[in-house]
Structure 1
Amino acid sequence: MTTAIRRWSIDRLVPVLAGTMVLLSLALMLAFSPWWLLLTAFVAANLLLYGFAGWCPVTLLLQRLGVPRTGCPATERNQ
């Protein structure tokens, strides 16, 4: 029995990066200014765009960096 090594994919990285940015903006808001909540709103808008359209600016960047769209190829999913 072989196990496929799970690679970081765009589908996994987008929510991880979004959550990191939300926590960062909340910390910056508490430390400096409530205006940092605009970063949270921007992240939320990008998550909505990603949910409805399937892409956001981060996905374009990750694709150019060579990150795969899904964690494993279609041939490995059925094994």
Structure 2
Amino acid sequence: MTLDRAMFRFAGAMVLLSVALTMWVSPLFIWFTVFIGLNLLQSSFTGFCPAAIVFKKLGIKSGCAFQ
């Protein structure tokens, strides 16, 4: 698995988790969803993603998006 695929899977899982938490725990978890969206947006412009750095340190090989 490449870093790109790991990031897409992680982001998708976090969005689904935040929506589930918003529905079943507290409506305030919507801010978690907003944070995830903003992080995805800024990483598309800057190329900086903290989760990508962690995954790289865990040994996942780079893809073409996060080099």
- TM-score per shorter chain, which class? 0.7 to 0.9
What's 2:55 paired with?
Answer: 62
Q: Deviations over 1:28-62 (max 9, x none)?
A: 11111111111111111111122112221101101
1:36 aligns to 2:57 (yes or no): no
The percentage of counterpart residues that share the same residue type is: 38
Structure 2: which 5+ residue stretches go unaligned? none
Task: Give ranges in structure 1 of 5+ residues lacking alignment.
Answer: 1-7, 72-79
SS class of match (1:70): coil
Paired residue type of 2:16: L
Matched, 1:27 2:20: yes
Count the aligned residue pairs. Answer: 64
SS of structure 2 residue aligned to 1:25? helix
Is 2:8 the partner of 1:11? Answer: no
Q: Which amino acid aligns with 2:17?
A: L
Runs of 4 or more above 3 Å deviation: none
TM-score (norm 1): 0.72
Structure whose alpha-carbon radius of gyration is higher: 1
